[in-house]
């Protein structure tokens, strides 16, 4: 009997030891990364989009612009349509309001958006607002209830070298987790879409399909939105800081788009003559030629100053200056390093709203033409005497199809085009007259 009791006791202690050993091992394996993934993964979503792509079967090929062909001849019988599908990621930032944050390029041109959660639920996604200059978009999940959400963090105190976690939908593999460190902060990169500033750089693997997914810290907080891959190298990914994303989200929810901003000034490129006159060792920067806003003058900026940097980002020329400004939102203060006859100094200026009304008024004075909607196009309703438009030979009644390649359908299109190309010396226009189309250069 004692022998059986002894065997039972040994067996019991063996089971008990195995249990505590397993629990202890599991406790050791429950790292901050595991805890973060377990808490955040339910709020990470896979985004499936479909877009209808139309291909014009223009029999004239490149000899005849498609916009003109559609306007003058119609193209209902010469259009091929097909559906294009793509994948992306997103993160639920407000479970009570059913709001998902993702990249603008993930849903660009989508005719339908379907969002899938980790628990298997699927919902239709409705676009609340999108802005390609920030590459951010907000979706609303239709008829969704009891949604999880990620905890917003603070990206202002991120440290180079700290561990971060990327969760997304790379190549269609849902909720894939990668880890790495913060490699650098406040990175600026140039892409075909424009200049993007303030990026978080990380070596956490970010592959196609990760776009729009969250970048998390070890406290389980959302600190960035994964958005780009540097194609020329491996192990370099980028994310939009969550503090910047918060400002954009507020505007997207309120207005559907981020309001255009400016410093209320005009400028031109710096040539060697100007550089020598101001004692500069480079032609980089933008020379301020005119100031419209009193707040900018009050801040201490003067005509004749050369803007060298904007929030630490070096300015190459006037076009680069405008691309940099598209990274900021209304009311932000920007730090300018300027050089002038009084030497180099730093100036802080608050960004002002650049309304469509203001842009249309300036376009009438600078380009010399007033436009009005007519059907699916814009028509030139007035050409001002002595203006660049009159010197070019434009007339009342001419149709305006494109400005610098951007299609012109509404006054909003025209206002946006002027905001983007207002400081250019030459702007390419596509106009129509008497059933024919012409590419012409407006010289300002």
> Could you give the residue numbers annotated as active site?
105, 135, 211
Give the whole-angstrom CA distance, residue 76 versus residue 116: 36
Give the whole-angstrom CA distance, residue 281 versus residue 272: 9
Q: Is the dihedral of CA 378, 380, 381, 384 positive or negative?
A: positive
Q: Report the SS3 class of residue 260.
A: coil
Residues 6+ apart with CB under 8 A from 396: 380, 381, 382, 383
Report yes or no: 398 and 431 within 8 Å, Cβ to Cβ.
Answer: yes
* Residue ranges with strand state E in 132-252: 136-141, 151-152, 163-168, 176-191, 194-202, 214-217, 221-229, 237-241
Residue positions counted in the chain: 444
Give the whole-angstrom CA distance, residue 309 versus residue 345: 11
Exposure of 183 in the CB half-sphere (CA atoms within 13 A): 14
Other residues' Cβ atoms within 10 Å of the Cβ of residue 93: 22
Give the whole-angstrom CA distance, residue 231 versus residue 66: 32
Per DSSP, helices labelled H in 167-301 are 242-255, 272-278, 294-298
Residues 6+ apart with CB under 8 A from 270: 280, 283, 284, 285, 286, 287, 306, 317
């Amino acid at each position: 009997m004692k022998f059986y009791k002894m065997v039972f006791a040994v067996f019991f202690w063996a089971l008990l030891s195995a249990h505590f050993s397993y629990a202890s091992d599991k406790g050791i394996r429950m790292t901050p990364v595991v805890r973060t993934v377990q808490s955040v993964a339910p709020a990470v979503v896979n985004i499936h989009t479909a877009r209808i792509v139309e291909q014009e079967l223009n029999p004239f090929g490149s000899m005849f612009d498609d916009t003109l062909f559609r306007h003058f001849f119609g193209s209902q019988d010469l259009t091929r349509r097909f559906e294009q599908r793509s994948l992306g990621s997103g993160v639920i930032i407000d479970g009570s309001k059913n709001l998902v944050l993702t990249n603008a390029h993930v849903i660009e041109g989508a005719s339908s958006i379907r969002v899938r959660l980790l628990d298997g639920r699927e919902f239709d996604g409705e676009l609340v607002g999108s802005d390609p200059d920030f590459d951010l978009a907000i979706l609303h999940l239709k008829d969704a209830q009891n949604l999880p959400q990620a905890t917003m963090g603070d990206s202002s105190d991120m440290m180079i070298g700290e561990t971060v976690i990327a969760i997304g939908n790379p190549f269609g593999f849902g909720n894939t987790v990668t880890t790495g460190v913060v490699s650098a902060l406040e990175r600026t990169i140039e892409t075909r879409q424009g200049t993007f500033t303030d990026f978080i750089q990380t070596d956490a693997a970010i592959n196609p399909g990760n776009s729009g997914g969250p970048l998390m810290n070890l406290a389980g907080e959302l600190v960035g939105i994964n958005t780009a891959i540097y194609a020329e190298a491996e192990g370099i990914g980028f994310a939009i800081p969550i503090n910047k994303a918060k400002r954009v989200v507020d505007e997207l929810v309120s207005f559907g788009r981020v309001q255009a901003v400016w410093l209320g000034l005009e400028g031109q490129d710096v040539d060697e003559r100007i550089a020598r006159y101001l004692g500069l060792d480079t032609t980089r920067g933008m020379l301020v030629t005119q100031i419209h806003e009193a707040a900018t003058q009050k801040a201490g900026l003067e005509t004749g100053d050369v803007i060298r940097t904007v929030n630490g980002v070096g300015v190459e020329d006037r076009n680069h200056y405008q691309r940099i400004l598209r990274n900021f939102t209304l009311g932000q203060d920007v730090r300018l390093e300027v050089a002038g006859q009084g030497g180099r100094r730093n100036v802080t200026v608050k960004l002002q709203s650049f309304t469509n009304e203001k842009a249309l008024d300036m376009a009438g004075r600078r380009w010399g033409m007033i436009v009005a909607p007519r059907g699916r196009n814009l028509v030139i309703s007035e050409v001002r005497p002595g203006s660049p438009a009159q010197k070019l030979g434009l007339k009342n009644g001419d149709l305006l199809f494109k400005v610098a390649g951007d299609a012109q359908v509404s006054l909003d299109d025209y206002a946006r085009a002027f905001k983007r190309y207002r400081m250019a010396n030459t702007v390419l226009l596509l106009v129509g007259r008497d059933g024919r189309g012409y590419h012409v250069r407006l010289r300002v």
